[in-house]
C-alpha cells in the first residue's frame, strides 16, 4: 500500500483534466492516502512547486475546462539531469507514486522517469488528439470534437448560402483523428489527414464537376493541421476551380470549454481506477478506454507504438461524402 502520491497535468491542456484530477484526489483521500498537487507539470515538479490537497481543493471544478493545477512544457525535464532533480523532489517529500495526466509527450517523460528512477507512475491520457496507442478514447477528445461540430454547422449555413467551398483546419499535427471524426459526423466532402496522401488537382477537378452538374450546392473540406494549411489549400483550390473559397482556422478554441458528459464520466472513471491501482502497488501503465471498457496499457507500449486511424471510418467517410 502506497501512502503518499502526487498528481500533475502536463503538456497541452484538454477539457476533462480537472474531472480527472478531482477523481484522483478524492479517491486517494477516501483511502487515507496523502496526495500532493504539482503545479505546471514537469516544470513545477522541478521547482518543487506543490501542495498537499484536500477534498475542497477540487471543489467546483468538474465542469471546468483547462486545468486548475496549470500545465507547462519543460525542456529541462527532457535531460537526464533534469529528471534526476525531479525524482529527488519527489523522494524528499516521501512521494511514492505519481499520476501524470497528459498527452504523448508527457507520458514519454513519465516513462523515462520511472525507468531511470524507479518512481511508480500511472498515466491518464489527457489530450484532445486521441492519439495514444492501445485505447480508443482520450480525455478531452469528445469535447473538442463537439466544439468543432458546432463550428462546422455554422460554416455549412454560410457556405450553402453563397455556394462556396468551405475549408476548416482543425488540430492534429500528427494525428487526423479529430479531422476524421468531425468530418464524418459533419458530413464533409473531403477529409485531409496526415496519415493519407491526397491530390489537390484531382480534388479540384472533382469539385468543379460537382458544381457544374449541380450535385452539390457547396463543398466542405476538413483538414488536420498536420496535413497542410487551410489557407494555402484554399488558395490553390480557388485558383484551380474558380469557385469562391473560404478558409477558417479554428485554433485554440478547440482546447477549451466545459467537458461533455462523456469526458466527465471517462475522466472520473479512469482517475478513480488509476489511483486505486497506483495505491495498491501498480506502476508503469496508462489507463484508457477500449471498446467501452477500462483497460491498462503498458506505459512503454503506449508511447512507443503508433496509433493508426480506424480504416473502417476512413472508408466510410468516403462512401458517405
Ligand atoms: P503533450 O503531453 O501534450 O504531448 P508535450 O509533447 O509538449 O505535450 O510534452 C510535455 C512535456 O513532457 C515536455 O515539455 C517535456 O518536459 C516532457 N517530455 C516530452 N517528451 C519527452 C521525452 N521524450 N522525454 C522526456 N520528457 C519529455
> DSSP assignment of 199-261, as one string?
-HHHHHHHHHHHHHTTS-S-EEEEEEGGG--HHHHHHHHHHHH---EEEEE-GGGGG-SPPPH
- In the chain, what are the domains? 4-140+259-304 (3.40.50.450), 141-255 (3.40.50.460)
Lowest mean pLDDT among 20-34, 207-221, 296-310: 207-221
Does pLDDT of 128 surpass 90? yes
Rounded to the nearest integer, the mean pLDDT of the chain is 97
Ligand 1 centroid distance, CA of 127 (Å) = 12
Query: Is 136 in the active site?
Result: no
pLDDT band at 312 (very low <50, low <70, confident <90, very high): very high
pLDDT at position 60: 98
Nearest protein Cα to ligand 1, atom 23 = 108
Predicted local confidence at residue 215, as pLDDT:
84
pTM of the model: 0.97
Confirm if 119 and 97 have CB atoms less than 8 A apart: yes
Cβ–Cβ < 8 Å for 250, 96: no
The active-site residue, picked from 104, 129, 142, 263, is 129
Mean pLDDT across the stretch 50-66?
98
Radius of gyration of the chain (CA): 22
Residue nearest to atom 8 of ligand 1 (CA): 11
Q: What is the pLDDT of residues 69-127, one digit of tens each?
A: 999 999 999 999 999 999 999 999 999 999 999 999 999 999 999 999 999 999 999 99
Over residues 166-182, the mean pLDDT reads: 98
pLDDT greater than 90 at residue 254: yes
Is the pLDDT at 303 greater than 90? The verdict is: yes
Q: Ligand 1 in contact with 74 (CB < 6 A)?
A: yes
Say whether pLDDT at 214 is over 90. no
259 neighbors 19 (Cβ within 8 angstroms): yes
Counting from 1 in the atom list of ligand 1, the atom nearest the Cα of 76 is: 16
Amino acid at each position: 500500500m502506497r501512502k503518499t502520491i502526487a498528481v500533475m497535468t502536463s503538456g497541452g491542456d484538454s477539457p476533462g483534466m480537472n474531472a480527472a484530477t478531482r477523481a484522483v484526489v478524492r479517491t486517494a483521500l477516501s483511502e487515507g492516502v496523502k496526495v500532493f498537487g504539482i503545479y505546471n507539470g514537469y516544470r513545477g515538479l522541478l521547482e518543487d512547486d506543490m501542495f498537499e490537497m484536500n477534498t475542497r481543493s477540487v471543489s467546483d471544478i468538474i465542469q471546468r475546462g483547462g486545468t486548475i493545477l496549470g500545465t507547462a512544457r519543460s525542456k529541462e525535464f527532457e535531460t537526464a539531469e533534469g529528471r534526476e532533480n525531479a525524482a529527488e523532489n519527489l523522494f524528499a517529500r516521501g512521494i511514492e507514486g505519481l499520476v501524470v495526466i497528459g498527452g504523448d509527450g508527457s507520458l514519454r517523460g513519465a516513462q523515462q522517469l520511472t525507468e531511470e528512477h524507479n518512481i511508480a507512475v500511472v498515466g491518464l491520457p489527457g489530450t484532445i488528439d486521441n492519439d495514444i496507442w492501445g485505447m480508443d478514447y482520450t480525455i478531452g477528445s469528445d469535447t473538442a470534437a463537439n466544439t468543432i461540430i458546432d463550428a462546422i454547422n455554422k460554416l455549412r449555413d454560410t457556405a450553402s448560402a453563397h455556394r462556396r467551398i468551405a475549408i476548416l483546419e482543425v488540430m492534429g499535427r500528427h494525428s487526423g483523428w479529430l479531422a476524421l471524426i468531425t468530418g464524418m459526423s459533419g458530413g464533409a466532402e473531403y477529409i485531409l489527414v496526415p496519415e493519407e496522401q491526397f491530390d489537390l488537382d484531382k480534388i479540384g477537378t472533382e469539385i468543379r464537376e460537382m458544381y457544374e452538374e449541380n450535385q452539390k450546392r457547396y463543398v466542405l473540406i476538413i483538414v488536420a493541421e498536420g496535413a497542410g494549411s487551410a489557407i494555402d489549400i484554399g488558395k490553390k483550390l480557388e485558383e484551380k476551380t474558380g469557385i469562391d473559397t473560404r478558409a477558417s482556422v479554428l485554433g485554440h478554441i478547440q482546447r477549451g470549454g466545459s467537458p461533455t458528459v462523456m469526458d466527465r464520466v471517462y475522466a472520473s472513471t479512469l482517475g478513480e481506477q488509476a489511483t486505486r491501482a497506483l495505491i495498491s502497488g501498480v506502476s508503469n501503465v496508462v489507463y484508457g478506454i477500449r471498446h467501452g471498457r477500462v483497460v491498462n496499457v503498458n506505459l512503454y507500449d503506449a508511447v512507443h507504438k503508433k496509433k493508426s486511424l480506424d480504416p473502417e471510418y476512413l472508408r466510410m467517410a468516403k462512401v458517405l461524402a
